[in-house]
Structure 1
Amino acid sequence: MNNVKRICLALDLVNDEHLIKEYIDYHKPENAWPEITQNIRDKGILDMEIYQTGDRLFMIMEVGEEFDPDNFKPSAQAQEKDRAWEQLMWKYQKALPWAKPGEKWVAMNKIYDLKNAK
């Protein structure tokens, strides 16, 4: 696994305590939709973590060199489940002010790496 790449993304939630709690509950292991979890793995995502503070989310993904989000062809059933999940999540999520239209998770730029510091 020498060619593992880390991708970091950010997203905001609707700033409502009740909705944030619901969103977090959907992401607990016992509540996660198994089809969505499988779709994530099928895309070549090796690991994924989501962190939350207030209404801000931060996602870290580790992907292999074969990962290409633009070239993934899920089955019709997987596409249907993904659409249902994404539609449900929009109840809780809001785009960052600088996001492109329809864009949810926005890629973050790495500005510091301790390994490279002197």
Structure 2
Amino acid sequence: MRTYALALDLKDDPALIREYEAYHKNVWPEVLTSIKESGIQFMQIYRTGNRLFMQMTVNDRFSFEKKAAADNANPKVIEWEELMWKYQQGLPGAAPGQKWILMEEIFSLEV
């Protein structure tokens, strides 16, 4: 099992942020299936202002490359991702079209 942390910004518009959150209370079943089939076993998204933080715990089958390939072959996931761009914007320094940015772990404490 591995854990990843990723970040993304939403457009800084309260109405759009409310819409985005409403979609995430009822994520399309095809998108949920895609997430589960990729090897993601746990996923949470948090928000502060217009900044999102996503935590994913994945099994050994998961890879970002395989997930991207599967998503690019799934019309409903493509439709979802295109819809989400209405609300999302890349982080400062992100490449054009780049959404979620992998975060680097800088501290860990286990007791």
Instruction: Give the TM-score normalised by the residue count of structure 2.
Output: 0.92
Secondary structure of 1:103's match? coil
Unaligned runs of 5+ in 2: none
Partner of 1:74: 70
Query: Using the alignment, how far apart are the partners of 2:107 and 2:77 within structure 1?
Result: 34
Report percent identity of matched pairs: 47
Matching of residue 25 in structure 1 with residue 50 in structure 2: no
Partner of 1:54: 49
Q: Which of the numbers 37, 41, 57 marks the counterpart of 2:36?
A: 41
Q: CA deviation at 1:35?
A: 0.6
Unaligned runs of 5+ in 1: none
Aligned length: 110
Structure 1 runs of 4+ aligned residues shifted over 3 Å read 72-76
CA-atom RMSD in angstroms: 1.8
Greater C-alpha Rg: 1
Relative to structure 1, the CA distance from residue 101 to residue 20 in structure 2 (aligned partners, 3 Å threshold; closer, same or farther) is same
Instruction: Give the TM-score normalised by the residue count of structure 1.
Output: 0.86
Q: CA deviation at 1:75?
A: 8.4
Query: Using the alignment, how far apart are the partners of 2:104 and 2:95 within structure 1?
Result: 16
